[in-house]
Amino acid sequence: MSSNPSARRVVVTGASSGIGAATALALVAAGFEVHGAARREDRLADLSGVIGHHLDVTSDISVEDLAAQFETLDVLVANAGGAFDAEEVGNATLASWEKAYDVNVLGTVRTIKAFLPALIASGNGHIVIMGSTAGRVVYENGGSYAAAKHALAAVAGTLRLELNGLPVRISEIAPGMVKTDEFAVTRFGGDKEKAAKVYQGVEKPLTAEDIADIVKWTVTLPAHVNIDLLVVRPLAQAAQHKVHRKA
């Protein structure tokens, strides 16, 4: 499976689009042996230099089958996630809350648990958890996503304590407004008009490539340097509720 035995090996989950795809490509360019994993495995074929794998982070069997292919692993980018509604808590569809928790939180825990032995065995492991500013500050109509990302922040902090003394770094990247092709569209159930309004008037939201560059920087720092938490927003977004929009 290894195309370059001397290269550091990385698995990127949710690599079929958005931040995951951009991160996989950025790490290939940085000289990593990149294994991209996603439910839509066919899309991974479009990522030059990326070794594709099918992965459903909500399935124990799927995650364990992939992890079994790695005796050692240098970096795990736990990126798979998403928002699945934009409802008030009082009108919550519990199925979307369950999906948000299963994909964002349980999916990440499931993946980390499966790959942790290989990360420790590498002697220089690094787990990058893709969080969100929603995991730091709540906002209206974002309850399910914010709750899941707050839980994910707790997972990152707990892991850092539990793995202290072992050769595994834990970094949480928490992006603010990132404009990708699918995130907001998925949140609004495929309604592209509603999705477009999220970014309306915002001159320069963050891009997937911006976050990919940050992940690349984080995982290429010396082994004794750990970025605990990196919060990044576009200049136009001062806070969740404070975004400059041109008329």
Read off the pLDDT of residues 67-82 as tens digits, 9 standing for 90 and up. Answer: 999 999 999 999 999 9
Mean pLDDT, the chain, whole residue set: 95
Q: Give me the CATH number covering residue 99.
A: 3.40.50.720
Q: Tell whether 246 is covered by a domain.
A: no
Query: Measuring CA to CA, how many Å separate 50 from each of 105, 180, 217?
Result: 25, 20, 19
Q: What is residue 26's predicted lDDT score, i.e. its pLDDT? A: 98
Query: What is the structure's pLDDT at 6?
Result: 67
| Least confidently predicted of 65-69, 117-121, 193-197, 201-205 | 193-197
**Per-residue confidence (pLDDT) for residue 41, from 0 to 100:** 93
Phi, psi of 193, deg, nearest 5: -70, -45
131 confidence band (pLDDT: 50, 70, 90): very high
For residue 186, pLDDT over 90 is answered with no
Burial tier of 216 (Cβ tally within 10 Å: 0-12, 13-18, 19+): middle
Catalytic residues, by residue number, are: 145
Model-level pTM?
0.95
Give the tokens for residue 34.
């990149």
- On whether residue 50 sits in a domain, the answer given is yes
Determine, yes or no, domain membership for 189.
no
Q: Where are the alpha helices (DSSP H) in 92-246?
A: 94-100, 107-121, 143-162, 183-187, 192-198, 208-219
Q: In the structure encoding, which two tokens stand for residue 159, read together?
A: 């892991």
pLDDT of residue 181: 85
Dmax of the chain from CA atoms?
A: 55
Which residue range is the domain that position 40 belongs to? 9-176+207-229
* CA–CA distance, 157 with 172 (Å, rounded to integer): 9
Q: Answer whether residue 188 shows pLDDT above 90.
A: no
Say if CB 9 and CB 73 are below 8 A apart: yes
Residue 220 domain flag: yes
| Confidence at residue 182, expressed as pLDDT on a 0 to 100 scale | 84
pLDDT at 3 over 60: no
Say how many domains are in the chain. 1
Contact 4, 28 (CB under 8 A): no
Residue 31 within a domain: yes
pLDDT at 214: 98
- What percent of the chain is modeled with pLDDT above 90? 89
Within a domain: 184: no
pLDDT at residue number 152 = 98
Note the pLDDT of residue 196. 87
pLDDT of residue 195: 84
127 pLDDT more than 60: yes
| pLDDT of 97 above 60 | yes
Whether residue 62 lies inside any domain: the answer is yes
With cut-offs at 50, 70 and 90, classify the pLDDT of residue 4: low
- Decide if 124 is inside a domain: yes
Tell me what pLDDT residue 209 has.
98
